[in-house]
């Protein structure tokens, strides 16, 4: 599993992604939601059936690409760029364990994201 201790930011890329794409294509997609800098980041991409994710990890020295699949359940996933969110380390652990992405609004209309 991904080592989360040194990660600065974690982003969910919304909608479906053709996971045949390699690291260069994923890099360009990641630039749509976060600037390129020297921070340690994870970007998560999901396939059409929501059963497979690809994790693009960019650190100070290079890139890692991981794949995670679920046998019986599906990943909950945001649908569009407005729903693209930075998530925290607890939320990625829940997501990688197969829990669903749930979005709701609080009483003061501030959006919160939970799994």
Specify if 3 maps to a domain: no
2: in domain: no
User: Are 53 and 68 within 8 A, CB to CB?
Assistant: yes
Q: 20-29: per-residue pLDDT in tens? A: 999 999 999 9
Comparing CA positions, the residue from 83, 88, 90 lying closest to residue 111 is 83
Q: Is residue 1 part of a domain?
A: no
* 23, part of any domain: yes
Going along the chain, which residue ranges are E strands? 9-12, 41-46, 52-58, 63-69, 86-87, 102-105, 111-114
Kindly provide the b/e burial profile for residues 43-75, where b requires at least 16 CB atoms within 10 angstroms of the residue's own CB: bbbbbeebbbbbbbbbeeeeeeeeebeeeeeeb
Q: Evaluate whether residue 29 is within a structural domain.
A: yes
Average pLDDT over residues 50-66: 91
Task: Write out pLDDT tens, residues 71-113.
Answer: 877 777 877 766 667 788 888 887 777 665 555 444 555 544 4
Q: Is residue 94 part of a domain?
A: yes
> 58's torsion region: left (phi>0), alpha (psi -120 to 50) or beta?
beta
Beta bridge partners of 57: 42, 64
Number of domains in the chain: 1
Residue 59 lies in a domain: yes
pLDDT (0 to 100) of residue 105: 47
List for the chain the helix, strand, coil content (%; round to 5).
15, 30, 55
The range of the structural domain enclosing residue 24 comes to: 9-114
> Does any domain span residue 4?
no
């Amino acid at each position: 599993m991904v080592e989360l201790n040194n990660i600065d930011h974690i982003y969910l890329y919304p909608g479906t992604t053709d996971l045949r794409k390699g690291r260069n294509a994923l890099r360009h997609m990641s630039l749509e939601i976060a600037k390129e800098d020297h921070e340690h980041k994870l970007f998560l991409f999901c396939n059409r059936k929501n059963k497979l994710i690809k994790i693009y990890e960019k650190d100070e020295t290079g890139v890692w690409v991981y794949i995670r699949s679920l046998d019986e359940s599906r990943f909950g996933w945001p649908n569009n760029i407005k729903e693209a969110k930075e998530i925290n380390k607890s939320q990625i652990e829940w997501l990688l364990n197969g829990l669903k992405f749930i979005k709701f609004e609080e009483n003061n209309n501030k959006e919160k994201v939970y799994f």
